[in-house]
Structure formats: C-alpha cells, structure tokens
Chain A
C-alpha cells in the first residue's frame, strides 16, 4: 500500500518553514526520506526506525509516530537548495529494505 504524502506541492520564500507529511495504512518498521532535484537521482536524507524517534541534521528534521503510522519532515529556514521533490519510503515488519514510496511532494523555494 503506497503511503500518502501531503501536501502534493508547496511554494516557499527563502527563510520560511515547511512540513511534509507521510501516512500509511500499514504498520511500519521504518520511514526513509529522500530528496530528488530536477533531472537527478533521489538522494537519501534520513531514516527513522520504529520507536518514535526524531532525527535531524542541519535544518531538516523528521519525526515518526508509529502508533499513527505517520512521519513528518520539517524544513526550517528553507534555502534555495532545498527545492526538489521529497519522497517518503516506508518499510514494514517484513523488512525495511524493501520500500514503498509515496508519490512525492514538490517543494519550490523562491528568493
């Protein structure tokens, strides 16, 4: 079952914050976040494992609520370089290496 991402698209001005959500109807073991810039390959951002942890690096962080089967990606004080499409990939109890990706959220950061 493909996870549902929201919003589908968001436009920001540099310095603004954004939240991207990822929801699944299945019990999750892990949530992975990737960013894909136009014309490039997806690039791994971070992984969150069952346990409700929160992670982050630089000004991008994420949370994982396993009871609600949801994850959120937080982008703080956005930079132009944050523009791209963000995908969540979910792994179930059977093996987190086999991911099911959402349809993506397109983030545009303008000057």
Chain B
C-alpha cells in the first residue's frame, strides 16, 4: 500500500460544485502539504499543516480550504469550483526535520 494515499485519483465536476480531495498517510509524519501543479508552473503550495492544530496558508490559498482531521488525514476543499482550478493536486508529508517530502500519486481535477 502507498504511504501517502490520495482520493479520488481523477474527478470531473461542474463549475460551482463543492469538492473535497482527501489525503491519508501511514508514514507517521506530522507535517502535511497540499500543492497544485499546472503545466509549466511547477508546484505551488496551497496550504500546509505542521500538526493537527496548526494550519497555514500557502502562496495560492484563495478559493481553497483545508481540514486536518487527524495526524494522518488532511483534506482540501474547493467551496465553489471554478474552471481555472482545473489542475493536478498533490498531497505531501514530511517528518519534523523537514528533510524530504513524500508525495501522493496526485488527483487530476477537471472543472467544466
């Protein structure tokens, strides 16, 4: 089983819908991250959480919200999806030292 699991892997939805992307991990890491990847733009940080009670905005948090339900679970929500949120979304984890980040397989989200 994957250490960092993202669900769903693919999602197609319509403008205005509420969407939740889920991430769970078995690595025992405290730190979790949500990134967005668009072609040619690299990985951009949406939100990050260093523990269950610590959640921080990244560089592109507008239009997104997160919930850290437990050490192992970190969800990303789009309250009212819009087409320019179409992208590949990655969840990642790191240990307290932050020496490396471990990525899930990604969720490909299309908003029509």
Contacts and interface: CB of A to CB of B under 8 A. Distances in A.
B31 A41 contact: no
Interface in B51-84: 56, 58-59
A41 B104 contact: yes
Interface of B, secondary structure class, is strand
Contacts, number: 50
Contacts of B34: none
25 contacts: A2-B42, A32-B100, A41-B90, A41-B103, A41-B104, A41-B106, A42-B43, A42-B90, A42-B103, A44-B100, A47-B99, A87-B42, A87-B43, A89-B43, A96-B98, A97-B48, A97-B94, A97-B98, A98-B45, A98-B56, A99-B45, A100-B59, A101-B35, A101-B42, A101-B44
Interface of B: 31, 35, 40-45, 48, 50, 56, 58-59, 90, 94, 98-106
